[in-house]
Amino acid sequence: MLNLPFTGNPLDYGGGLSASRLHPVYAWLGMRPVVAQHTAEEHSALGRWATGRSSIVEIGVAEGVSAIALRQRMSEDGTLYLIDPFHLSRIPVFNFTKRAAHRAVGSVTRGKTVWIQNFSSKTSQSWNKPIDLLLIDGDHSEEGVRLDWAEWSPFVVPGGIVIFHDARLFEGGWTTPDNGPVKLVDDLFRRQMIPGWEIVEEIHSLVVVKRSGLLA
């Protein structure tokens, strides 16, 4: 992750914040920016791939920084579905991560958002909408990321995109060969080369794969 000082910008990369200030209550109160769990280069790639897309699903929202990147560039009449159980809060009744995320993503007015406070595998059971961009950044266990791929990729339209975060090694990065997303991407797209999908971009820990065919 980038090691930037606190700048007062609406989003930041966490490096300049003391541990006590990292608590999400400070983001919800507007006393610190929301903390990105990705690099600036990844942030701009997310925005680039979201440009003009109208049915976007993000699995794993946290404080909402990648959701901001997607929302800023999506189609004006599109919908961004944000799936996260927000189950890690120490005081569930307050759930400041969820509040901080709602506040941060709500500060962007482009398109529409639909919040789904649930696990991705529960949500997939009743899902029936086409997706033109899917960001997988939720459960990072190998089993979890495999399940997300199996359950959600069938909804991605021809020409649509799936982006995996924390899915490749890069110089100075935080990922390791035994991380679930790294193993899944290596297996499906480098070893098996599953038909109908190809890697179209790799930047830092992000791997972008495209379903063949024209966007409907």
Ligand X SMILES: C[S@@+](CC[C@H](N)C(=O)[O-])C[C@H]1O[C@@H](n2cnc3c(N)ncnc32)[C@H](O)[C@@H]1O
Q: Taking the complex as a whole, how short is the minimal distance between the CB of residue 23 and ligand X, in angstroms?
A: 15
Instruction: Pick the binder of ligand X from 65, 145, 182, 185 (CB under 6 A).
Output: 65
Nearer to ligand X, 33 or 78 (CB): 33
**Cα 114 from Cα 132, distance rounded (Å):** 16
Say whether residue 139 binds ligand X (CB under 6 A).
yes
The CA-atom distances, in angstroms, between 35 and each of 58, 97, 121, 181 are 17, 10, 26, 21
Say whether residue 82 binds ligand X (CB under 6 A).
no
Instruction: Pick the binder of ligand X from 1, 50, 57, 62 (CB under 6 A).
Output: 62
Nearer to ligand X, 54 or 120 (CB): 120
Say whether residue 46 binds ligand X (CB under 6 A).
no
Say whether residue 108 binds ligand X (CB under 6 A).
no
Say whether residue 205 binds ligand X (CB under 6 A).
no
Nearer to ligand X, 11 or 156 (CB): 11
The CB-based long-range contact list for 22-29 (8 Å cut-off, 24+ gap) reads 23/96, 24/63, 24/96, 24/97, 24/99, 24/100, 25/94, 25/96, 25/100, 27/63, 27/96, 27/100, 27/103, 27/104, 28/96, 28/99, 28/100, 28/103
The helix (run of H) or strand (run of E) holding residue 149 is helix 142-152
Say whether residue 42 binds ligand X (CB under 6 A).
no
Q: Taking the complex as a whole, how short is the minimal distance between the CB of residue 174 and ligand X, in angstroms?
A: 11
Report the chain's C-alpha Rg in angstroms: 17
Residues that bind ligand X (CB under 6 A): 36-37, 59-63, 65-66, 83-86, 88, 119-120, 137-139, 144
